[in-house]
């Protein structure tokens, strides 16, 4: 039977250790994803662009086939008109008066005009086909270039993924296992804080008497409360959960982005009572 998170009972110290280790694991996963950079998005954009080009080429090709069908129809109309002209010419030799002759002459003239109109339409269709073919050639060239770009991007992305795949899978399993050790309300609060944090940090240590997330000064009494691990305390400025890694026996890796230096901001006015994350509410 599956263990419900609500049934998990752990001391505050053990809970803090679990949530801090979860933060470390998630931060390592973030670092691996950062190594990929924008490659996954670039690959997705190229795939979408290729699909769009392929659809456009198919649509233009269908339009060309319709124009070719229209040309065939006009050519058939020309043949029919020529047959009518031949027929009327033969009838013209058998007329008995001028009125019949003029009537047949008008029919012949009408068929000749139909032939001229059909030839004009055929030229228009041929011009449109030529323009559409140029457009297909342009799209095909762009499709070939983008295909080469996509191939290179996929090779680069696959190399990065394969290099870190095993580590990422292990970290994801570790994170999933740690999440099961946390109460649902704490886990929900952790994910919410993490999603709102620019660097993905929901749990921070106290460094140089300041919050490791927002670098605001923490009073000595609050630091003592954090070290005792009797309460889950959050920073009143940024809302991150504060822990003492040394007391928890957890090694702290460097999880700040490369090149970013933490700076301690000038102390600000403290509220009368620092916030405490009460899991019993």
Residue that finishes a domain, picked among 148, 179, 210: 179
217 DSSP 8-state letter:
B
- In this prediction, residues 78-96 reach a mean pLDDT of 87
Buried b (16+ CB within 10 A) or exposed e, 59-86: ebeeebeebeebbeebeebbeebeebbe
Collapsing DSSP to helix, strand or coil, 189 comes out as: helix
pTM: 0.51
The phi, psi pair for 212, rounded to 5°, reads: -70, -5
Reported as a pLDDT band with limits 50, 70 and 90, residue 210 is confident
Q: Is the predicted pLDDT of residue 119 greater than 70, yes or no?
A: yes
Q: Which domain holds residue 241?
A: 183-281
Would you state the pLDDT for residue 219? 86
For residue 204, the domain's CATH number is 1.10.287.1490
Residue with tokens 């068929």: 111
In a domain, 15, yes or no: no
Q: Is the predicted pLDDT of residue 5 greater than 50, yes or no?
A: no
User: Two tokens at 217?
Assistant: 């000064």
Asked whether residue 43 falls in the same domain as residue 161, the answer is: yes
Asked whether residue 275 falls in the same domain as residue 145, the answer is: no
Residue that finishes a domain, picked among 131, 154, 179: 179
* Torsion of the alpha carbons at 240, 245, 250 and 251, rounded to the nearest 10: 100
Residue that finishes a domain, picked among 137, 164, 179: 179
Would you state the pLDDT for residue 247? 61
């Amino acid at each position: 039977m599956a263990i419900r998170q609500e049934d998990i009972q752990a001391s505050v110290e053990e809970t803090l250790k679990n949530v801090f280790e979860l933060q470390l694991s998630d931060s390592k996963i973030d670092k691996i994803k950062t190594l990929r950079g924008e490659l996954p998005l670039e690959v997705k954009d190229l795939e979408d662009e290729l699909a769009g080009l392929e659809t456009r080429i198919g649509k233009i090709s269908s339009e060309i086939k319709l124009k070719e069908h229209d040309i065939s129809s006009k050519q058939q109309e020309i043949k029919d008109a020529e047959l009518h002209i031949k027929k009327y010419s033969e009838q013209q030799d058998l007329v008995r008066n001028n009125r019949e002759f003029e009537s047949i002459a008008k029919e012949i003239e009408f068929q000749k005009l139909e032939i001229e109109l059909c030839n004009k339409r055929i030229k228009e269709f041929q011009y449109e086909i030529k323009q559409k073919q140029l457009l297909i050639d342009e799209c095909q060239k762009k499709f070939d270039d983008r295909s080469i770009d996509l191939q290179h991007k996929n090779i680069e992305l696959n190399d990065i993924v394969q290099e870190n795949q095993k580590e990422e899978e292990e970290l994801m399993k570790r994170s999933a296992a740690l999440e099961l050790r946390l109460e649902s309300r704490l886990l929900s609060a952790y994910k919410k804080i993490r999603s709102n944090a620019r660097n993905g940090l929901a749990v921070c240590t106290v460094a140089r008497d300041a919050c490791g997330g927002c670098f605001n000064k923490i009073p000595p009494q609050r630091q003592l409360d954090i070290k005792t691990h009797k309460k889950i305390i959050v920073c009143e400025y940024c809302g991150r959960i504060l822990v003492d890694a040394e007391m928890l026996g957890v090694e702290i890796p460097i999880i700040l982005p490369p090149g970013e230096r933490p700076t301690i901001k000038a102390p600000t006015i403290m509220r009368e009572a620092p916030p405490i994350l009460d899991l019993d509410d």
